[in-house]
Structure 1
Amino acid sequence: MAEPQEGPLLRTPSEQSSVGQPRGGSNKQALKVAGLTVLAAVLIAGQAFTAYMVYSQKERLTTLEHHSSRLEELSRRATVMRAPMKMALPMNSLPLLMDDAAAGEKKAPSTPPPKKELTQCMREAAGLVRIHLPSFRPRCDENGDYEAQQCWAEASKCWCVDKSGAMLKDSMVDGPAKCAKE
């Protein structure tokens, strides 16, 4: 049997015997091994944590995959079944289009029709002139005169007017008014 050693288990470097190789290198090697062990433990713990999170979020990931595949299917279907898009053309290009359509025909340059000045009825109907009744817009005929019957939908009232828009006496009624056409 081996004899039990007497004395401390750890000695300071000055107490160590200088027999054989110096023991200073073994401390560096032990630190390297300990560092690599800690690094390996952290990496394994990180992988375990990642696996746990993926497993716990499996239901949400499945739902996201389902939604993603559904969106891809809808986008493919939308490109195949898309209706032609209506283009908006600016009105100032309309004469150019008409010239292309009638390329064979030669006609004299046309002058634009003279601009018609807005009548009082047209200005009130367009909201350019303030009216005393809120949300009321008069109705005008093709000449710009007031129509014989005017109605205010908010109050369900109608009345008769002359061509200048003046209300005829005792003509306001609930519902349509019976106005004589002049």
Structure 2
Amino acid sequence: MSDPQDGPLLLAPSVTASTGSSNKQALKVTALTLLATLLIAGQAFTTYMLFNQKERLSTLESHSVRLEELGRRASVMRSPMKMALPMNSLPLLMDEAVPEKKAPSTPAPKKELTPCQQEAAGLVHVPLRSYKPSCDENGDYEAQQCWQAANKCWCVDKSGAMLRDSMVDGPADCGKAKEVGALE
């Protein structure tokens, strides 16, 4: 009998029933043919899509080149743009940006200033920017202290120590804290 590789690929049904190897060979050929057909169809579809999109691709390429050119020109001809600042930080910036002009004063009689008065006059550094404490007529800290730039208020004792859990948005109720005995 002849070698299965030398014979024809497809045999008559009576012959294929007797030999199983020719049936396998026919399946292999069919699979390879189907695969080749799919690959050729895929390449044809890709080529078709590229030709349809050729105009758009060339337009995108020309826009890209134009943007690169404009970018190079802009960086050479212009100075950097100013960034916009949020309005809620404006009061904080204004305190540092505008130096206070101190008017020449006549020598006043020397009087010892309390710590509150020193902080309010700007003679002592205060950790909060643009915050000036409120002092009473004796020079002690008032019960309620407020930082207007942040709209925060809190209660303090006469020495200026903040009372625990008293910071709120807006005015603080320090009279209530006094009634509870948190002050003094």
Normalised by the shorter chain, which TM-score bucket? 0.3 to 0.5
Q: TM-score, normalised by structure 2?
A: 0.40
Larger radius of gyration: 1
- TM-score (norm. length: structure 1): 0.40
Per residue, is there more helix in 1 or in 2? 2
